[in-house]
Structure 1
Amino acid sequence: MYHIHVYFPLQQKEKAQSLNDLIRQQRQDVAQVFPLVCKLVGPHKMPMFELHAQSVSDELVAWLDSVRGEFSVLIHPVTEQELRDHTESAIWLGRELGVFEEKLDV
């Protein structure tokens, strides 16, 4: 299982919603697409929306990179090691924003 977080500034909420809609329409390999979260939650440093996927192919990563525009995207596995998942094991598309590490279990 993988989580994919698409970060957006609040002034680009409409663009983020359009990307969310595009993913829902075009990506059958994404198990769940969640609504926009327009506040800071968990370890995340910007508003974001989340995707869940059983696996992450090179094709999915390339597609996300081609449609994300200026948004940063965090892709990470889901294991018992939350801190490692969000840091060492993470893939970033765009600017690496980092996470609030103190909010993650080691």
Structure 2
Amino acid sequence: MADPSLYTYPSPLQGYEGLEPLPNDKAADGKSFINPPAEKKSDAYNAFVHPITNGDRAGFDVHIYYFQSDPEETKFAHELWERIRREFPELRIYRVWDRPIGPHPVAMFEVNIFTPEQFGAFIPWLVINRGPLSALIHPNTDEEERDHSQRATWMGQPLPLSFKIFKSSKPT
């Protein structure tokens, strides 16, 4: 995993400076806070935030892994791949690889997500339906190594990726 201290982070409150303090009133559950209504919904409902790609490249990649030496996992992965193709035809779904490829240490297949709406539908579906398989979810920006490491989210057991491919593609 990339060391987070290698990067800079803008303040999460950028653009919200100088506003009145938020109330400390509790909601009906007695635990969460009541938030004042927003003037409009966040733009993040309709487009991925910068620097995540919005367009043909896809905003997020999901890599779903299986151990190619395990016949049960292999069968499950192929069945999951077929189900995703049938239930989410609007997503871009790649072939099932039967061996490691790129930075990925075991066999896998990839699904591309293009909109926040697709992300909101597919990711919860995958949480429930991925079975024993691990999945890496990462955004697509111009920083591939960071996308696959510091910005990545895992479902299930994380697997060690090989970042050599990203280092060899950088100019020397």
- TM-score normalised over the length of structure 1: 0.89
Deviation at 1:13, TM superposition (A): 1.5
Mean CA deviation greater in 84-93 or 96-105: 96-105
Measure how far apart 1:27 and its partner are: 1.7
- Match of 1:26? 87
Q: Deviations over 1:36-87 (max 9, x none)?
A: 1011111001100011111353442211110000100001111110111001
CA distance in 2, matches of 1:88, 1:27: 28
TM-score of the superposition, structure 2-length normalised? Answer: 0.57
Matched length:
105
1:1-55 Cα deviation digits (max 9, x unpaired): 211100001122111110000101112452x111110111110011000111113
Higher relative contact order (CA 8 A, sep 6+): 1
Select 1:52's aligned residue among 91, 99, 112: 112
Q: For residue 100 of structure 1, what is the amino acid of its counterpart?
A: S
User: Which one has a bigger Cα radius of gyration?
Assistant: 2
Residue in structure 1 matched with residue 66 of structure 2 by the alignment: 8
Query: Percent same amino acid among aligned pairs?
Result: 29
Which residue in 2 is equivalent to 1:97?
Answer: 159
- Amino acid corresponding to residue 98 of structure 2 in structure 1: C
Q: Which has the higher helix share?
A: 1
Q: Which runs of 5+ in 2 are unaligned?
A: 1-58
**Distance in 1 between residues matched to 2:88 and 2:81, nearest whole Å:** 11
Q: Which letter does structure 1 place at the counterpart of 2:162?
A: F
Q: Which runs of 5+ in 1 are unaligned?
A: none
Match of 2:140 in 1: 78
Cα RMSD for the two superposed structures: 1.6
